[in-house]
Amino acid sequence: MASIPHLLASGTGWRVQDVVCTAGPLDRPFEEQHASLCIAAVTSGTFRYRSTQGSATLAPGAVLLGNEHHCYECSHEHSAGDRCLAFHFEPEFFEQIVAAVPGARRISFNIPTLPPLPALIPIVAAAQAARDNGDLAALEELALCMAATVSAALVDAKRPARLPSSRDELRVAAALRRIEQESHQPLLLADLARDAAASPYHFLRLFLQVVGVTPHQYLMRTRLHEAAVCLRRSGESILSIALETGFNDVSTFNGHFKRIMGVSPSVYRRLNGRGEPHSRDA
C-alpha cells in the first residue's frame, strides 16, 4: 500500500489518523472510498485529489474534504509522497457539531477542499504538534474544533467558476513545492512566475485559481504554521524562531503572528504549556 494510516486517537463518533503516502509520479492511482466523513489537513507534500465533489491540487495547509461512502482518487503526477492528519466523523456526530455552528446547514461537503484559511492555521499547527509530541489526548478537542471551523468556512464557500488546466496545475504545483522547501527564504512573485514561464500577473491568477490564496498569502501562512509548531514543541527563543521561519525581525513576526493566531507568540507559548525561554526577545 502506498498510503499507510496510523490511528492516533478515537472516541464515540470520531477518530484521527496520521496518514503517510509514499506514492510518486510512476504509481498509478486507484479508486478508494471514504468510510466516513473526512477532513484531512495536509502537513507535507503535494498531490492531486479527485472526488465526487470535484478535483483539486492540495499542498501543506490545505484541507481535503470527503463524504461518507463517496469514491475518490489521490495521485502524485507532480511529486512523490505526502502526509496528512485525517479527522474522521460519523454523520450523526458531525451533525451535532454542525447544529451548533451559526449559518451551517449541511452535513456533507459540496467542494473537494479548502485553502489554507487563517482560521485553520492554529488548529492544524496544534494537531501537528500534538502528533509530533505524542500529546494525543489533545486531539479530541482539536477534532471538534476542526469540524466546527470547516463547517463555518463552508457557509460562504463556492465551487470554482473554472477549473485550471493540467499544465497550469503542474506549474503551480512546482511553485508550491518550492515554497514548502524554501519558505524561510525570500521568495518573490517575479521569481516564482519566471520558474513557471509566466508573467507575474498571469502566474498570480493561476496560483489563486489553483490554491485559493495568493503566493504571498500562502508563503506567510506556511511560515506562521511552522512558527506555531516550533513554539509548541521547542524551547527556542522567539527571536530564533522568527528568523528560522523567514521573518527579518521579531517585531514583524509578532505582528503577523498576532493577526492570524489572535495572540502574541509569547502568550501563545504560555497558553500551550511551554515555559518562557531565557531571553528578552518575547
| Topology (CATH level 3) of domain 3-153 | Jelly Rolls (2.60.120)
Residue 132 corresponds to which cell in the numbers above? Answer: 509530533
Element (DSSP H or E) covering residue 58: strand 54-58
Q: Supply φ then ψ for residue 218, to 5 degrees.
A: -65, -40
- H helix runs in 154-274, sequence order: 166-182, 189-195, 200-211, 215-233, 238-244, 250-261, 265-271
Pick the CATH number of 164-282 from 1.10.10.60, 3.40.50.300, 2.40.40.20, 3.10.450.50: 1.10.10.60
Q: Which residues contact 165 (CB under 8 A, 6 or more apart)?
A: none
In the prediction, which pLDDT does 78 show?
A: 76
Distance CA 277, CA 267 (A): 12
pTM of the full predicted structure? Answer: 0.87
Residue 84 corresponds to which cell in the numbers above? Answer: 496528512
Residue 208 corresponds to which cell in the numbers above? Answer: 489563486
Q: Is the pLDDT of residue 2 over 80?
A: no
Determine how β-strand 71-75 pairs with β-strand 47-51: antiparallel
pLDDT by residue (tens digit) across 43-89? 999 999 999 988 899 999 999 999 999 999 999 987 889 999 999 99
In the prediction, which pLDDT does 277 show?
A: 40
pLDDT by residue (tens digit) across 151-197? 999 987 776 666 778 888 889 999 999 999 999 999 999 999 999 99
- Fill in the DSSP letter of residue 196: T
In the prediction, which pLDDT does 79 show?
A: 81
The residue ranking higher by pLDDT, 158 or 129, is 129
- Fill in the DSSP letter of residue 246: T
CB 193 within 8 A of CB 171: no
In the prediction, which pLDDT does 278 show?
A: 35
Domains of the chain, residue spans: 3-153, 164-282
In the prediction, which pLDDT does 276 show?
A: 44
Distance CA 82, CA 42 (A): 8
The residue ranking higher by pLDDT, 253 or 103, is 253
In the prediction, which pLDDT does 91 show?
A: 92
User: 11: closest CA among 68, 96, 88, 95?
Assistant: 88
Residue 97 corresponds to which cell in the numbers above? Answer: 457539531
pLDDT by residue (tens digit) across 15-29? 999 999 999 988 888
- What CA dihedral angle connects 244, 248, 253 and 256, to 10 degrees? -120
In the prediction, which pLDDT does 121 show?
A: 92
